[in-house]
Structure 1
Amino acid sequence: MMKSHLPTCVLVLLAILNAGYSSKRSSVDLDATPRLTVTNNELSDGRFFGANVKNYSTLLLEDEKGILYVGARGAIFSLNASDISHRLRKTIHWEVNPEKNQDCVNKGKNNQTECYNHIRLLQTFNETHLYVCGTNAFSPQCGFIDARTFSFSSNIDDGKEKCPYDPATGYTGLIIDGDLYTATRYGFQYLPDIRRTLYQYTLRTEDSPLHWLNDAEFVSSAFVRESLNVAVGDDDKIYYFFNERVVEESSSFLDKTQVASVARVCKSDMGGKKILQKKWTSFLKARLVCSMPYYETLKALYTLDLGSWNTTIFYGAFVLQWRNMEASAVCQYSISDIQKVFDGPYMEYQDSSRKWTRYDGDIPKPRPGSCVTDDIRSSGVNTSQDLPNNVLDFVKLHPLMYKKVKPLGDQPLLMKKSVLYTRIAVDRVTALDNKQYDVLFIGTGDGWVHKVVVTKTTVYIVEEIQVFKKPQPVENLVISKRQDSLYVGSQSGVLQISLSGCHRYTSCYDCILARNPYCGWDGKICREIVTSEDRVQMTQDMENGNGGCLNSTAEDPLIKQRTVLKGDDVLLQCELKSNLAKPQWLVNNTDPLDENEINFRVGNDGLLIMDTQLEHGGEYSCYSEENGLQSLVALYTLNVWLKLNPTSVPTPVVQLPTPISHSSSKLEFVYISVITILGGLCLVLSVVLMYVSCHQKRKGRYAMGSCRSNNVELQTVSNNFKDKSEDINNYSDGCLQIIPGEAPTLSPKRGNPPPPPPPPPLPSEFTNGIATLPNMLRKMNGNSYMLLRQNEEASSPLYNSFTEELSKILEKRKHTVLLDKLDESSV
């Protein structure tokens, strides 16, 4: 089996990534490039909520009340849905007590992540109460919250049958008409299970002789009211989406592979009377295929409820992995296609061959796995407990359907390489053309959200938004049409951003090219369609994305001057806002740029002109070209000089306290005045420096502050004098002694150089003695000075010999000229 599947999957992978999944869409659509990239710093409309906890992954929106409930680690928050950053919020602290925490640690669990109370379920129970469950350090608990006071209204109950013990285990839960429908692995020794608890009959899946679920990891669940407006008296159903280990293949390679699946149960199921007691009698499951069976994993699913059950659409986000390649795909499924698969042939397990094959035998009546309808009731079966034994036996042994659920169009809507999709939310929007378009918000594993628009002919990414500056997975997405907001949950907090993002489009071209169904151009700005009072005057082109604008309506950019010497390189920047746009350059407003010329290099960031020649001077215009539309982005005037013109170098102008005249004579007077003032300052400084130099040469001493002898001698020592430094600790004159390294000498014919100025004051961290010597080099008039030591007295006998030696050397150096360049080896 491995040999038969592997080449096929390789071919499928190559077809997807190189040529597209089918001929209906091009590979560009399947690996679409986001038109705009919005970084976190550009999210001017973003509103963030975060407290002193982590893991804000459970969100519940009550849109009519304007409340967003957030379940985090050890806390539950009630936030203002219009502005989640508002300080007026309510908090319930629900942390693990020290005894439970210690028990968790003793069991070998991680005290940094696992031994906390992670909120996994937060659902509306009725108009006044919420129901919440938490892991509670591997000892789950559940309870009711009074929404009016936002506090627990009763004692906390045991949640081991309702909530997973592990915060990392896949889990989904719904409260429907007072009953709790959950799916997870409820304990370490439990098998994955789908359960119904609380008030009605408690049901679960069958685990023998054939497991209905095989290492299932649950992703999502959906409630579909199929009983509404149906003449046959059908029942409402709950659909579960998960990944599980392959059972219908016998290959050892595929035994370790997970496949995406969908399961279904009936809401009114009461279990069997003798067979399948307290077990589902309506459980059926089928494989869910997106693009690469056996190489794809379902990561997220969203149910788009369009008002009628038979129009329900499911959007699934998958991760494709093959060898070292990773990609993501999004597929669309209709509930009618899922229903057809559940009405089709079954599979059964053959003990002889130990394989699952198609079942072609007789099917008992009523059809196994179906809900009780009016037709079944007419035969005397009013509930599932009235079903015949042969029907229940068949359900027990045939949970898997033969056909697979394929996506609409038999292909994925979107394919992205090197991207890990983690969450998805969908909104259906009515555009100006009165057509409806689905807008997908897809979270990634590194803190981005892709906004994707689906039309009948194409799928494109309007923008990619960096919702979190620090890379982290997007763990939840909730849409509020009333607040025009998308709420994004993560480990660090919750971010609220605009659904539409119309303010990011600054011109008519930009607004039209975006093809954002939320936005239209009203003649002045790009704004939301639903807030416009006169939609007739608005412009939008969802089908083609390039019609409706008479011109770019954007202000022409300012002309920038660029001056360059002949033979040098120059870059004329042209930043394109859209990732789909291409730069088009015109020279002198008429001639297209010859991109084949060896001197020109056109990139996404601008035009690079290398080895600039005189003929390259002129005017350069950069246009952004996208989807047949052009808009001016940058204007340059390039001047090429043969050599540097001194008169063209700008001279700093000193503001004089006299009125500025525009006549040339007065300007000359100002320049002459400035030059005279600067010359006078230079003359004064030169006289002062000469005076100081002569004075120090005569005096030979520098005054110090807190030194006991009140003076410090500037002494010069030869590099050959090495032994004296060993007894440096004997100096105790209390003065700062500075010894320079000796520099090479020049010809003795030149005059003596002026004495070096005093060294600059040293930083406090470098005044700790010998230990800092390597870091204390200072350059002064060609010499390098080191701080050796600060002593209190100079009473050591060695100090006298040291002074005599220095005096001799200084006398000798009177006939020596120091070089300007430091000889650092003498230090």
Structure 2
Amino acid sequence: MLLEADGERLYVGARGAVFALNASDISASSALTIEWEASPEQKRQCLLKGKDNKTECFNHIRFLQRFNSTHLYMCGTNAFRPLCAYIDEKRFVMSSQPEEGRDKCPYGPTTGYTALIIDQQMYTASQYEFRSFPDIRRNSPSPTLKTEDAPTRWLNEADFVGSALVRESLSSSTGDDDKIYYFFTEKSQEQTTTYSHSRVARVARVCKGDRGGRLTLQKRWTSFLKARLTCSLPEYDFHFNMLRSVFVMPGRTPQDTLFYGIFGLEWKNVKASAVCRFSLTEVQEAFQGPYMENQDSGSKWKEYTGKIPDPRPGSCITDSLRARDINVSTSLPDDVLNFVRRHPLMSQQVQPSDRRPLLFRRTTDYTHMAVHMIQGVDEKTYHVLYMGTDEGWLHKAVEIEGQLHIIEELQIFEEPQPVNNLLLSEKQMSVYVGSPSSVVQLPLSNWTLTVPGAEPSVDVMAQTNRSTLIQDIQQGSRGCENTQDDIVVRGRSVRVGDDVLLQCELSSNLATPLWTLDGSELQGYGLHSGFRTGTDGLLIIEARQHQSGLYTCYAVENRIKVALVAYNVTIRLDLPPPPPVAPTQDTYSFFATLPEPTEHPFTERPLPPNPAPLLPHSDLLSPRNMEAMYLSLITILGGLCVVLTVVLVYVGFCLRVGNQGKYSLRAAASAYPNNKRQHRNRKQHRNSAHMELKTISSHCNGNGICNGGSKQHNGDFQDGGFLQIVPGEAHLTPNKEPPPPAPPLPPTPQHPSPECMFPNGLSATLPSVLRRMNGNSYVLLRQSESENTSPHGYSFAEELNKMLEKRKHTQLLPRPDESSV
């Protein structure tokens, strides 16, 4: 997407088309379209290359930017044969025949790619051809430059996510050059003893005026340097090493430029995101620090401690070099260029502001972001971030004292789909969100929420006179002190012994519920208290007459208490019992009453059995015949026991022959029908059809919910553990190094969870999605026999009840992948 500076038009590149939309109303009928489909012959050639005719064999527009005052420039994949073309902006038509684009545009629609047109020169970074190495290039006009791949490869399986021009020549006291910064994730090269990652986040830079070397590094960058971007939680030694998106925030001067990055985890089956901010000053310091070297191509890189040539390798041309008659990069000495060729990596890592993330969020994968600076009533400037997720949500957050606070969440698309792009227009006061299926326009601010009894919220930007406004961004409480409890009281009459759910939905994720009975706060929700509380209501279990009264639900946040709903509950003896309802397999109640600890946690209370009808008299039921029937039945059961004993002994012997605690099931995998096995493998992106059984043991500071009941002695797991089926990990390709195992996620720093915590910080929660298997959904929890209470003093049943209440609205997957167990 391309939003013009004047804010009047939004250009959108799609599959086989380019659109020019009215930025003030993208749904207006004035939209213009250029159709640009791949030819049938090119689609046929794409199929012959083995590509997908549903996703890849089309012309996906990957580049769309302004070329000059009259024309735009665009590039498309053209079914794996890229083309580029100029667009006449005024007429919105292609002004020339398409030209070759294989050096400017990637072949595929999902290959990492970033590109800029700067002063009519095109700078791109991608893996261009199908089997080529990733490369950073200046394509046109001459001189064309690229990164080096021999003897030292400068980029190692790089996946690019963004680039930015910083005009560092403006008001420079040293006559410095403008620079282009590139952001990507690549395979790690560092040698370290503290931690190891197979991939790391990077920032690289080149000088805009670079013209390559004369003989050494001819048609190669002489100013290419790269450094690592770190985004981690130091207290947990937890590192986010996958860079997903970058937003560049210009400052008052080039030196004030900020880089916001969205980071994720290397393990695709663990969802978590962190937002880190970097200053240009920190990046420049890394490029002025020590270099890394690799004497042997087969070893890891380590810090270079030898002599550094003069002028400093990788520097731009400045006034001090011009005074030495070095006016262009082709005049640089060969020893400097040879050093650049072998030392592209810097040793110093770029640390984020405050040395920690602005935001860490579990169970969320952010994909793109945009940042808006706005002035509050207190005359201070705040950074407001808009972040899109992989499921089509938009989160709005404000930065306060080095931390991000999410103040609004909005589900943009009815069907879950990733946010592919985010643009802001201060002139139009709009946010433009792009996804694989559509583009959505939203207002920058949408403050229509009101607190009962308080003054209604208004848009600060729309108020010319702000002297009468009250706004408390720092504490979030000023103006709410005199909130009136003006709520509707609802009546509820129930029969003694029934369970009653009083619903109370909190509008804020940061608020906690508080319940009162006749004005007194309910104290404790133990197993025998008769109450359970959750995020969506209060449950009265087996109601008794003394529990009648006025129940009021309050939302408590930042020490402010606001009444939301009240119930006048009357518990009576004279109400008739409700008619019995037969349970069905599709009915799930997460507020079901838990049995006493002596019963199994998932045992249902049976209904009283109906009286058995009297059997008619028959000679078959005589004592002699009944004795013969019993003897026959005992004989059959005895034979079956013998057969089962032999089978179990044989299976036990076979399992003992294999590895202890780890078994490869070839037969289980091959028993699947071919189409099911192919579907499972495609789901898991695996080449192996093997499965693996592993014994898993977990402990939770004495909490029975998290404790599998196992004990560990001398490295062997004893009885009480459970089995986890891990598909596709029995055998790995010899040439591929397996990725490091995913560590448990630490708790969210801003909102510590009251739930059970592992010693390493992982919160034990039920999954957000339960698997539906043959119409039944279940989660197996096991109680520790020796430790029945959590660190917080709650019993197993209480902790279970809390977790089930939080998952009351858990959705069920109608079609889970076949590997789910």
TM-score normalised according to structure 1 size: 0.66
- SS of structure 2 residue aligned to 1:527: coil
AA aligned opposite 1:267: K
Task: Identify the residue that residue 436 of structure 2 maps to in structure 1.
Answer: 491
1:181 deviation in Å?
0.5
Match of 1:592 among 513, 521, 538: 521
> Between Structure 1 and Structure 2, whose CA radius of gyration is higher?
1
Task: Identify the residue that residue 473 of structure 1 maps to in structure 2.
Answer: 418
Matches within 5 A, 1:378-777: 378-503=323-448, 505-507=449-451, 524-552=455-483, 556-588=486-518, 590-596=519-525, 598-644=529-575
AA aligned opposite 2:174: V
1:611 deviation in Å?
2.7
Deviations 1:46-84 (Å, cap 9, x if unpaired)?
A: xxxxxxxxxxxxx11114141111111001011111221
1:528 deviation in Å?
1.8
| 8 Å contact from structure 1 (residues 250, 354) kept in 2 | no
| 8 Å contact from structure 1 (residues 321, 327) kept in 2 | no
| 8 Å contact from structure 2 (residues 272, 364) kept in 1 | yes
| 8 Å contact from structure 1 (residues 258, 294) kept in 2 | no
AA aligned opposite 2:54: Q
Match of 2:165 among 201, 220, 223: 223
| 8 Å contact from structure 1 (residues 508, 549) kept in 2 | no
Say which is worse superposed, 425-434 or 69-78, in terms of deviation: 425-434
Deviations 1:98-130 (Å, cap 9, x if unpaired)?
A: 111111111111111111000000111122211
1:457 deviation in Å?
5.0
AA aligned opposite 1:608: L
Deviations 1:299-321 (Å, cap 9, x if unpaired)?
A: 11111112311111111111124
Measured in 2, the distance between the counterparts of 1:610 and 1:390 equals 82
Measured in 1, the distance between the counterparts of 2:6 and 2:264 equals 35
Measured in 1, the distance between the counterparts of 2:338 and 2:503 equals 74
| 8 Å contact from structure 1 (residues 295, 322) kept in 2 | no
Task: Identify the residue that residue 226 of structure 2 maps to in structure 1.
Answer: 285
Measured in 2, the distance between the counterparts of 1:295 and 1:458 equals 17
Measured in 2, the distance between the counterparts of 1:103 and 1:322 equals 35
Same amino acid, percent of matched pairs: 49
AA aligned opposite 1:634: V
Aligned length: 570
- SS of structure 1 residue aligned to 2:461: coil
What stretches of structure 2 of length at least 5 have no aligned partner? 578-821
| 8 Å contact from structure 2 (residues 452, 486) kept in 1 | no
1:286 deviation in Å?
1.0
Say which is worse superposed, 609-618 or 445-454, in terms of deviation: 609-618
1:295 deviation in Å?
6.2
Say which is worse superposed, 570-579 or 174-183, in terms of deviation: 570-579
Matches within 5 A, 1:64-463: 64-249=6-191, 257-291=198-232, 296-321=241-266, 325-351=270-296, 354-463=299-408
| 8 Å contact from structure 1 (residues 259, 294) kept in 2 | no
1:265 deviation in Å?
0.3
Measured in 2, the distance between the counterparts of 1:581 and 1:354 equals 53
- SS of structure 2 residue aligned to 1:208: coil
1:507 deviation in Å?
2.7
Task: Identify the residue that residue 772 of structure 1 maps to in structure 2.
Answer: none
Measured in 1, the distance between the counterparts of 2:74 and 2:120 equals 14
Task: Identify the residue that residue 708 of structure 1 maps to in structure 2.
Answer: none
Measured in 2, the distance between the counterparts of 1:580 and 1:295 equals 25
1:346 deviation in Å?
0.9
Change in CA separation of 1:400 and 1:155 when aligned onto 2, cut-off 3 Å: same
What stretches of structure 1 of length at least 5 have no aligned partner? 1-58, 510-522, 647-827
| 8 Å contact from structure 2 (residues 494, 575) kept in 1 | no
AA aligned opposite 2:296: D
1:567 deviation in Å?
2.8
Change in CA separation of 1:250 and 1:288 when aligned onto 2, cut-off 3 Å: closer
- SS of structure 2 residue aligned to 1:350: coil
Change in CA separation of 1:258 and 1:127 when aligned onto 2, cut-off 3 Å: same
Deviations 1:1-27 (Å, cap 9, x if unpaired)?
A: xxxxxxxxxxxxxxxxxxxxxxxxxxx
TM-score normalised according to structure 2 size: 0.67
Deviations 1:136-169 (Å, cap 9, x if unpaired)?
A: 0111111111111111112211111111111121
Measured in 1, the distance between the counterparts of 2:565 and 2:251 equals 46
| 8 Å contact from structure 2 (residues 358, 402) kept in 1 | no
Measured in 2, the distance between the counterparts of 1:323 and 1:158 equals 36
1:293 deviation in Å?
8.2
Measured in 2, the distance between the counterparts of 1:631 and 1:196 equals 60
Measured in 2, the distance between the counterparts of 1:192 and 1:321 equals 20
Change in CA separation of 1:351 and 1:593 when aligned onto 2, cut-off 3 Å: closer
Higher helix share: 1
Greater length-normalized contact order (CA 8 Å, ≥ 6 residues apart)? 1
Measured in 1, the distance between the counterparts of 2:130 and 2:268 equals 31
Deviations 1:197-250 (Å, cap 9, x if unpaired)?
A: 222421111121111111111111011000111121100000001111122349
| 8 Å contact from structure 1 (residues 347, 357) kept in 2 | yes
Measured in 1, the distance between the counterparts of 2:283 and 2:452 equals 43
1:508 deviation in Å?
7.8
Change in CA separation of 1:561 and 1:351 when aligned onto 2, cut-off 3 Å: closer
- SS of structure 2 residue aligned to 1:103: helix
AA aligned opposite 1:73: R
- SS of structure 1 residue aligned to 2:281: helix
1:324 deviation in Å?
5.6
Measured in 2, the distance between the counterparts of 1:613 and 1:416 equals 42
| 8 Å contact from structure 2 (residues 230, 239) kept in 1 | no
- SS of structure 2 residue aligned to 1:474: coil
Change in CA separation of 1:524 and 1:628 when aligned onto 2, cut-off 3 Å: closer
Task: Identify the residue that residue 5 of structure 1 maps to in structure 2.
Answer: none
| 8 Å contact from structure 2 (residues 496, 542) kept in 1 | yes
| 8 Å contact from structure 1 (residues 566, 614) kept in 2 | yes
Measured in 1, the distance between the counterparts of 2:458 and 2:297 equals 67
Measured in 1, the distance between the counterparts of 2:59 and 2:82 equals 8
Measured in 1, the distance between the counterparts of 2:537 and 2:221 equals 65
Change in CA separation of 1:645 and 1:166 when aligned onto 2, cut-off 3 Å: closer
AA aligned opposite 1:74: G
